[in-house]
Structure 1
Amino acid sequence: MSNAEVLPLLEPDGVAPCCPPLTERPLNAEEAERTAKMFKALGDPVRLRLFSAVASHEGGEACVCDISDVGVSQPTVSHHLKKLKEAGLLSSERRGTWVYYRVEPSVVAAMGRLLATAI
């Protein structure tokens, strides 16, 4: 699954148009499917720790060598990072022998908007 399948084109404000706030209207089937993929990826404690490690790393990106100390083997870390990428939450770039991961800010903003409550 490519990021293009998970992430539709960005809205003018640069935010991925996931879904309206939950308090605005019920999600349709496509919106629920797309949203569930993101939350399912974050539903694993190891994935959530890896996502947090990348998000909080200086500069908003982290080498896999800097974030792999989460109590599981390196192949398992790679598997979890792959799942986060498939959900559209991370992107990556290979530089030499290392892979660097970045949080996709537009997706995080869209998730935040989804959980926002109307005032």
Structure 2
Amino acid sequence: MARHSILRATGVVSIFGAAGPALDEVGLSAWIAQAAPGETLVYHRGFLAVDATSVISKLPAEQQRALRLVASAALRAAEQGLVHLVQARIGPDQFAYIAIARARPRQAGPSLSVRLLEAA
């Protein structure tokens, strides 16, 4: 039985550079603010728990720090209901960490900019 991924290469925006994470918290927030529901963003490729841990990571210290900040910002955005966070296996010990934009809430409440500030 074949496994099918719902992710298509044309529907995923990758910000991961060859030398390491190229996205910062501001870039992630900007993407969340303008993303249409269902749009996806790969914010890291690798093994996040390993890549962000100084003792075992092969990334330079500054890239580890940037990765931890982006991952924390993504988690806060998910907790605010702005994105879904998923991961897809791309190889042995290799994953794509993906943020999927959620529909904006219709009920009265904090504006998107307020929610992004709270998530920062």
Q: Is the strand fraction higher in 1 or 2?
A: 2
Higher relative contact order (CA 8 A, sep 6+): 1
Whether these two folds match at TM > 0.5 is no
Please, what TM-score do these two structures have when normalized by structure 1? Answer: 0.40
Please, what TM-score do these two structures have when normalized by structure 2? Answer: 0.40
